[in-house]
């Protein structure tokens, strides 16, 4: 029986297409069923099942049952997590403690949501800004 992988697409369609190549390398199609949750109209032949979503925007207080999925991966277009705070709070508020993340550069990382709160993410954004300035 295949494990269920939920891909949460919060990037433009072209980036999701590009990232599917790396997702296939990491999460073998013979072992995983690909489920895609997106808020916009998107089709890809690699997706086994589309998960409908009632809104055009993910809100942190929305309810969703993640218990049927073995792995979750967030497909985002930028590496700053603060830009997707609503997505990560949505995951955390629905009981997800750890998620995989794929960025535009095709690198897959793991993000622990246990200590996630708005203050930590805004502090991270603030420090990232000053790091880019050379401080």
| H or E element that contains 92 | helix 85-93
| pLDDT values of the chain reduced to their tens digit, one per residue, 135 residues | 899 999 998 888 888 888 888 898 889 888 999 999 887 777 777 888 888 776 677 888 899 999 999 999 999 887 767 678 889 889 999 999 999 999 877 788 888 888 777 777 777 777 777 777 776
109-114, long-range: CB < 8 A, 24+ apart: 111/74, 111/81, 113/88
pLDDT at 85: 82
- Cα 38–100–35 angle (5° rounding)? 35
Helix (H, G, I), strand (E, B) or coil at 22: helix
Q: What is the pLDDT of residue 135?
A: 60
Domains, the chain, in order of start with CATH, read: 3-133 (3.40.50)
Burial code of 78-90, b = ≥16 C-beta within 10 A, e = fewer? eeebbebbebbbb
Whole-prediction pTM: 0.81
Tell me, what DSSP letter sits at residue 60?
Answer: T
Indicate the helix (H) or strand (E) that contains 101: strand 98-102
């Amino acid at each position: 029986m295949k494990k269920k992988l939920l891909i949460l697409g919060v990037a433009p369609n072209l980036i999701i297409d590009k990232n599917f190549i790396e997702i296939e390398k990491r999460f073998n199609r013979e072992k995983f069923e690909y489920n895609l949750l997106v808020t916009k109209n998107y089709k890809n032949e690699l997706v086994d099942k589309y998960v409908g979503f009632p809104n055009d925007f993910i809100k942190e207080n929305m309810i969703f049952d993640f218990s049927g999925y073995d792995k979750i991966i967030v497909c985002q277009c930028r590496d700053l997590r603060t830009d997707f705070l609503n997505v990560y709070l949505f995951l955390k508020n629905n009981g997800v403690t750890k998620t995989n993340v794929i960025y535009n550069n095709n690198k897959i990382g793991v993000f622990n949501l246990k200590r996630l709160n708005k203050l930590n993410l805004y502090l991270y954004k603030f420090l990232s800004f000053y790091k880019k300035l050379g401080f």
